[in-house]
Structure formats: C-alpha cells, structure tokens
Structure 1
Amino acid sequence: MGWLLSSNLLGLSQDQVTAKQSAVQLDEAWQKASAKYDKQRNALLSTVERESREGPFQPDWQSLAQYQAPDWYRDAKFGIFIHWGLYSVPAYGNEWYPREMYQEGSAVNKHHVETYGPLTKFGYKDFLPMFKAEHFDPQAWAKLFKESGARYVVPVFEHHDGFAMYDSDLSDWTAKKMGPHRDLAGEIALAIRAEGLHLGASSHRIEHDWFLDGGRKEGSDVNDPQYAAFYGPAHPRLGDDGASLAEDWTYVSPAYAKDWLARNAEIVQKYHPDLIYFDWWIGQPSVRPYLAEFAAYYYNESSKRGTIGVINSKLVDMQKTSTVLDIERGQSASILSEAWQTDTSVSNKSWGYIENDTFKTPEFIVQQLADIVSKNGNLLLNVGPKSDGTIPQAVQQVLLEVGGWLKVNGEAIYGTRPWTNFGEGPTKVEAGSFHDTQTKPYTAYDFRFTTKGKTLYAIEMAWPTEGEAVIHTLSDNVVGARKVSAVNLLGASAELSFTQQADGLHIHLPAEAPGKYAFVYRISFEDEKH
C-alpha cells in the first residue's frame, strides 16, 4: 500500500498504478532468478556504501557538483566507442534488434520470424551459440585505434540486451561463460592500455529493466522463467506512449536499482576504467539516489588510485557540473564553459554492426571534430565490429584517414582550449541531439579556432580557390587587435606570407593544398596578451 500511495502522489493514472502492480510481480520473478548471486552482490553494495562516504565526495548532488573533469580527458579530445555484442550476430536493423524482434509487426520482428522461426522456438538467447568472436584480435584493434589518433577507448561492457561482455560474478549470461567463452571487454582493456590509451567502460544496464517488454505481449521465451535472469524484469515501458524521458515512470524496483549499482561497482573494481559512460534513463527519479551513490563511490575510488574518473551522462540525468555532458549524435552551437562530449557513430544507420551499412567520410569526421573541439568538447566516435571479432574494412579505412589527418594537424586538437570565440563563417551547427548529419557542408569561409599557450590555431574547413584565406576575426581595425607575427600552414614546409588588413588577416597560400580536407594555420602574435 505504501508503494501504491507514493505512485498516486506522483500523479499516475489508475491504469498506470495497475500496470505497476503487475510490474512488481514481474520483478519478483527476476529477483528469484538472480538470487544465486545475492552474496556477491551484497558484498559489492557494502563496499560502495562505505567508500562513497570515504573521500572528497559524498553521495549527494551538492557534493558531486564540485566535480571537475581531469586534464587527461580535456586534452584527449578524440576517443573510440565500441558497440559489440550478441546483437551483432543477426546484423540486421540496428543494435536494438533484441527489443524490436519481440515487437509484433515491426520490420525486425517480421525479419526474425521469417529468418529464424517463431519466438517460442528461436529467441534472443538462441543467438548465443552463433556468437563466437573467432577472429577477435584485441591487439590489432588497439593498434588500429591508436593509429586513428584516439586517446581513449570505451567498449560497451553491457548493452540494453543484458548480455555482459565482461567476466561478471553477478550473472551467468556473460561472454566469459557463454558464446565466445572469453572476457572480451577485459581483453580489449589490456590491449588498449598496452598501447598507452585510456580505458572507458560503457554500461547500458539500466535500460534492461524494460528493454524486452515486447516479449510479454505475445508468446515468446521472454515469459519462460528459466530465462528470467537473462531477459530481466521486462517491465512495460510507460514512456513508449510518447512521454519524454523525464516523464517516463516505468517501474524500477529497489532490488533492480541495487543490482545496477553492484554491477557498475564490479566493473570499477575489476577493470578500473578511467571513464564510465552511461546511456539515457539513469536520471529516472527512482534511480537517482543510487546514481549519486555510484558517482561518489567512483570518484572517490578513482581518486585513491590516481586521477579522478570521468562520468559521461546525458540531458539532466545528473546534476550540472557533477558529470561530463554527452550529446548523442549532436553538438553544441557555442562554447560551453564545462568540458562536454559528442558521441556519434561512423555508421549512418546503427551503433552495432549491420549488413549493407553506410559510413561517414573522414572529411565529415575531421570537420566535426574541429567544430566540437573549438567549443570545449570531445568527440567519441563509435565502431561496430562483426560477431566474428573483425572490424569492417571500410570502417578501418575511415579511422586510418582520420588518424593520418591528426598526425599532421593534431597539435591544433590535442591539449588545446577554446579561444575567445569558436570560429567564423556561414555554416552553423544546430544545438542538441540527433542531428549531427544535418549540418550543411562546410566551406572555405568557415574557420574553427583553438588555442594552446600563446598560439592560435585557425582550422579552415575547405581549401579556398582564390589563392588566399581570409580570417575576418583577425582584422586590425578593432580596439585591442593583436598584431600577427607569423603564420604557418601545418603540413607545409615554408612560412606563409600575410597581410593584416581592416577586413581581416589575408594569408597567401601555396599552389597546392597540403592534404585533403580541413587545413590548419598556426598563428603567432607579437604580444603575449589575449
């Protein structure tokens, strides 16, 4: 009665209250199936409770708001995201295949039934024997990521589907115990650290609370009690009726929230990631107290080992300044005062591997990186490996070309900070999520600025046809204008001639461009004042 009363106080309709009564029953089935790991879970929770209060942070938002991102992250600028999991086996639709295959009438549902048979005969669990990762070479991956110019790598340790890609002591449904029978995330972690890169870990476990709810509505193996520990509570998601994430009151039991907390603490204890990436939905009211406890635990734990860790989160899931804001497939229109991040995929259609995919060009990624860095952000670029453990050749080529650009021009990216303004030119970026591909093509009139010490870098997004570049921001007719003393074009050997005029800095260019796209001018000034 106490729980129902609190639901009514939240303004839920009677239908929603009835749905949540049913949700409690579903949760009990999941708890029963998960009880075999109660001892290990409780031990982790005890550690979290203690260590979240032993250190510079406490598990409350006022304390957590004092957080500041570490310099390594602010200097890194470019990272690689990896969406690899059981969903790479069907390689159809996108990484939400396990959800959509149970949604009657969806394109994925029709494909699944036609390809594999009815859901009572072939469910998501039946892809496990097909997930072999037989060609997975973590050292080759790590070398590729380093060649791409990335400074940190963030494997998805567990996606919404509930299959752990790491060696968890809280579940039977892991890559170590089933499928490949390897600690895939752990092997990646060792390899990338051997290459001198920072390790991140992405956890999407909180969405698993409702992810497979479609299987409740029709005959499927989701309703089979022997698979409850894998398929989770599978609560009906109330937010699917069009409600925003902030209005989504899908039930999360204290038991599930504690399990979520324990699983993330286990990742921290076993793998000591420098960064934790959380997807949508961790900001639900019933989850936020556990989120605050985890954040205090992780910040305190990482501070004891060395540099404080990073948590990426979205929207208002965490209190402002207690986290590093992540904007999914989108950007900022202006310089943000705090460090932030865009995450997007090299794939135009999916985060996980699918057949017949299309990919962003190296030029698009380089230009996006320049825009993001000029506004105090980082770019986390995702790749989706195949189920056999190989990264598509087309994706490798994109990464290597981005890396080639960074080898020449990286001094304008790594370790830089925003200038007084992010840039100039006609091409504007719309702020917010899910429209990073809607930006119009950049032109030779578009510049993005970064700075390091006394040096200004001007990144021109395309090569001009007039034989000169004009940076209007650096005109000599404004109060306090700084006098330019030298201009160098990265990748070119000779210093460039220039004139600083009333309409801007005119830079005289060589006959041929020193690369394919996005050209960097290193600009020095006679004075040392900004």
Structure 2
Amino acid sequence: MRKLWMALGCVWLSLHAANAQSGEPPYVPETDKAVLQKLEEWQDWKFGMIIHWGPYSQWGVVESWSICPEDEGWTQHDPKYSYFEYVKRYEALGKSFNPTRFAPEKWAKAAANAGMKYVVFTTKHHDGYAMFDTKQSDYRVTAPDVAFSKNPRANIAKEVFEAFRQEGVHAGAYFSKPDWHVDSYWWNYFPPHDRNVNYDLKKYPERWNQFKQYTYNQIEELMTGYGKLEILWLDGGWVRPLKQQTQESLSWSKTPPQDQDIDMGKITAMARSHQPGLIVVDRSVHGPYENYRTPEQQIPDKPLSYPWETCMTMGGSWSYAPNDKYKSVNTLVHNLVDIVAKGGNYLLNVGPGPDGELHDAAYTTMKGIGDWMHVNGEAIYGTRAVAPYKDGKVCFTQKKDGTVYAICLLDENESLPAVISFKGIRPKKGGSVNMLGASGKLVWKTTGNGVEVKLPEVLRSKGFKHAVAIRLGSVEKM
C-alpha cells in the first residue's frame, strides 16, 4: 500500500509539475503610491546587511534545517541520535541561549561604516524560535526559562532595530512563514514528512485557521512594537496558495502539495496600516506581495526588468560556523559593482556566534568594503542600470541626472592600468572625465574599438584596490 501511495503521489506531482508554469511568472507591479515611493528609495540604498541568528549558533549548525526530515545536504542531523531525540535536543538550545556579548550597536556601526544602508534581521526562522518578545508562544528568547531572558537587552530584535536606526540604517524584519515548532503547522499528532505542513488541511481546517491567526498576530506584533520597519522579508515560499505553485515549489513536497494560503492580502493590509509604505517581499511567491525578487547566492547574467536584490553570504554559511571562511573584499566589491550595474541591490549576510559577537573576519571584511565605498560610493548609491551595463572588466552605472560612471574591476593585487578601455558608450564631446578619489581631469579619446581613458603615473602609484570609478559626466551611445 505504501509503495502504491508513493507511486500515485509521484504521478500526481508529475502531472501538476507539467501544468505548473514552466517559465518565470511576470512581475506584478505595486499600485500603492507610498510603497512605490519606498521602493524607489530602496533602489537608491543599493547595499544592505542580513543577519541570521538564533540558538542554533551554539552548535554551529545550519539554521533550522537540521530538524527538517528531508534527505538533503543541508538538513542532516547528528547521526548519534534518532530524529525525534535530535529535535528534542535542538529545541532545548532555546533555553540555554545566552549571548552575553550581544552588542548590536557594534554591528550597526560596522555595517554603517561599510556603506550598508539597510538591515534585515531574522526575527523568526523556520524552527519557530522567536528572537522577539512574542505573546503567541513560549518558544522565544524572552521566555522566563531562557538563560538570556533576565538580560535587559533580551528582546533582541528590538535592540537590533534600534541600534541600526541609530546609525541611520533602515530596518527590515525577516520572518519565516512556516513554523516547525507550533502545533498548528507541524502537529505533533503526526510526524513531519518534509518542510511542509504535516496534516490534511481539508480534513482539519480549524487547525490551519489557528496557524493563519498565529502568523497574523506575530507579524502584527512586529509591525506595532518595534519602531519604524520598512521591509517585511518573508521566507519559506512553500507556504503559498495552491494556485501559485510552480515547478520549483512542487519539488519541495514529497506528497501532493496543499493549499497553504495564509491570506497575504489580509496580512499586508494590516502591516501597512501600521507601517505605511512598507515593502513586502513574499519570497519566490510571484504575485502582488513580492515587491522585489531575491535571487539567492547568485547574480543574474543580465539586468532584470523589475526591482531585485541578490542575497548572499559573506562567508560560506548563512548562520554561524566556527571556522567559516569569508569571501575576500575584492570579491565582495566586484559582486556589489556587478549587481548595481545590472540594477539590483546587494544584501550581504553575517551570522553572529553564540556569545553575540561576529567573527573578527566579518569586521575586517566590512572595514575593507567601507574603505572602498567611502571613495567610490558616489558611483553606487542612487544609480540605475545603463546600457551596455558591462564591457569586459568595466561596469556602468548612471545617476538620475544622467551622470554615468565606468567602474573598472581590478584583480586581486592588480595595479591600476595605464589605460582603461571600453565600448558602447562615450563621454559627450568636450565633457570632462575624472576618477573618484583623485583630482584633475583625465585625458580620453575615441578609437576604432571604443573609448580609451589614460591614467597618469601619479594615480597608478597611489595603490588603488578592487575597482576604480571613472566619472564620465553626460554620455552618448557609440
């Protein structure tokens, strides 16, 4: 019987996968004028920080996924324990969580100095542990039996948002739609079979309604008790209406997927009634509540026709890993330039440790990015994509007043070249050309292959690193 059910399930999945949209559904533009204005501002910010943090940092394991009963590389649990023994031990981490070195103002200052303009903090990941003072669950950092609950800064999300706003950094809340702890999502009457809800929604509709209300209530708590929030960044895209399933989301279910509709229209209306202009990002659920899209750990090959943001780890892991290896400043600067030239934003992740402190490498990396941004930020902030976007190692950005920048990417330890060449665009005749971080005009000329900008020896000896931005002023196509 079990084999028959599995076979039928596979047939059902195949049929629905074939019927699901094979291409990417079109972006649905926002109509709320306040949200449109906020999206325009958000596209000016360009560079942000996302922070994954929770009790799982005590083990240095990937956030939440080790309690998910899927046989994937990122979901493995300690083989010394049975699945249910492991989950019990994992959930006990919430009580021992005690980040005594938690000082979000230090994170905020480092982020601001790096040139980051917004932060997205994980208020709750899929495991259901709330990093804020929710009244809906005792599985939270402020619960009386949690080691950190007596600390005056125990309401961690509130402390983080306030610290970053104090540094002039805009605040956004990450919130997981699925919740693997609450009994109205993973009902303990049944074992979970994958990341999805583990009971029949048609058979137990009252339980699903409880989960919808639970989710609504937690989001309303965040929208009303944590100051100004400008982004609601929702993760767990398998929680979606059945009619919005895609081939990708169908692949996330071992059994026929269900109508996991949490009424995003109602949630969004409530959230914006408290936070006018709020950007809502219902990740991977293409529709009216996905104000921008979020390619994860990748940079699109070309500009996209809608607002978007690459979210990517600064190291190798989303959450704290004791010996995590961080990407070089050179790589991160190049990623930023490439993303911005294609019209996107760059959301860079760090994972604090169990004591509340970041790796030293996180601070040194952010300082290195900041050193570059302090010189070249003019070519990043408030820009939009401009054709030809990129020519070899030269990327282009454009201000709203028409000023164009040619940003030349330098390899690690590469010296500034004597000539920077590019094609597809050129300064208007008689226009001045200069390099950010240097005084004086640069000599340029049009050639059969495009434009050549000459960099004098006095500049090449100054040790510019990572990339240099050439301000072209007004330009014309070639």
Give the TM bin, normalised by the shorter chain: 0.7 to 0.9
Which residue is 1:147 aligned to? 113
Q: Work out whether residues 331 and 372 of structure 1, in 8 Å CA contact, stay in contact via their aligned partners in 2.
A: yes
Which residue is 2:224 aligned to? 269
Is 1:279 the counterpart of 2:252 in the alignment?
A: no
- Other structure's SS at 2:446 match: strand
- Other structure's SS at 1:110 match: coil
Specify which structure has the higher proportion of helix: 1
> Which residues of structure 1 form unaligned runs of 5+?
1-11, 17-60, 213-227, 426-444, 476-480
Which residue is 1:339 aligned to? 307
CA-based RMSD: 3.6
Q: Work out whether residues 67 and 75 of structure 2, in 8 Å CA contact, stay in contact via their aligned partners in 1.
A: no
Matches within 5 A, 1:275-424: 275-281=231-237, 282-285=239-242, 286-288=259-261, 290-303=263-276, 308-315=277-284, 317-319=285-287, 322-348=290-316, 350-424=317-391
Which residue is 1:510 aligned to? 456
Separation of aligned partners in 1, 2:463 and 2:398: 20
Aligned with 2:442 (options 479, 482, 496) = 496
Which residue is 2:187 aligned to? 233
Matches within 5 A, 1:157-306: 157-177=123-143, 178-181=146-149, 182-204=154-176, 206-208=177-179, 211=180, 232-233=186-187, 253-271=208-226, 272-281=228-237, 282-285=239-242, 286-288=259-261, 290-303=263-276
Which residue is 2:36 aligned to? 68
Q: Work out whether residues 58 and 97 of structure 2, in 8 Å CA contact, stay in contact via their aligned partners in 1.
A: yes
Which residue is 1:485 aligned to? 431
Separation of aligned partners in 1, 2:365 and 2:102: 20
Once the two structures are aligned, what percentage of the paired residues are identical?
A: 26
Separation of aligned partners in 1, 2:409 and 2:162: 37
Instruction: Give how far 1:148 is off.
Output: 1.4
- Give the alignment's TM-score, normalised by structure 2: 0.78
Instruction: Give how far 1:284 is off.
Output: 4.0
Q: Work out whether residues 87 and 97 of structure 1, in 8 Å CA contact, stay in contact via their aligned partners in 2.
A: no
Instruction: Give how far 1:473 is off.
Output: 1.6
Q: Work out whether residues 484 and 525 of structure 1, in 8 Å CA contact, stay in contact via their aligned partners in 2.
A: no
- Other structure's SS at 2:366 match: helix
CA shift in 2, pair 1:91/1:493, >3 Å: same
Separation of aligned partners in 2, 1:194 and 1:302: 19
CA shift in 2, pair 1:63/1:101, >3 Å: closer
Aligned with 2:78 (options 94, 97, 110) = 110
Which residue is 2:252 aligned to? none
Instruction: Give how far 1:300 is off.
Output: 3.9
Q: Work out whether residues 275 and 312 of structure 1, in 8 Å CA contact, stay in contact via their aligned partners in 2.
A: yes
Is 1:81 the counterpart of 2:35 in the alignment?
A: no
Instruction: Give how far 1:107 is off.
Output: 8.7
- Other structure's SS at 1:495 match: coil
> Which residues of structure 2 form unaligned runs of 5+?
1-7, 13-26, 202-207, 243-258
Instruction: Give how far 1:68 is off.
Output: 2.5
Separation of aligned partners in 1, 2:388 and 2:72: 51
Instruction: Give how far 1:165 is off.
Output: 0.2
- Other structure's SS at 1:157 match: strand
Instruction: Give how far 1:199 is off.
Output: 0.6
CA shift in 2, pair 1:340/1:118, >3 Å: closer
Separation of aligned partners in 2, 1:290 and 1:496: 57
Q: Work out whether residues 384 and 397 of structure 2, in 8 Å CA contact, stay in contact via their aligned partners in 1.
A: no
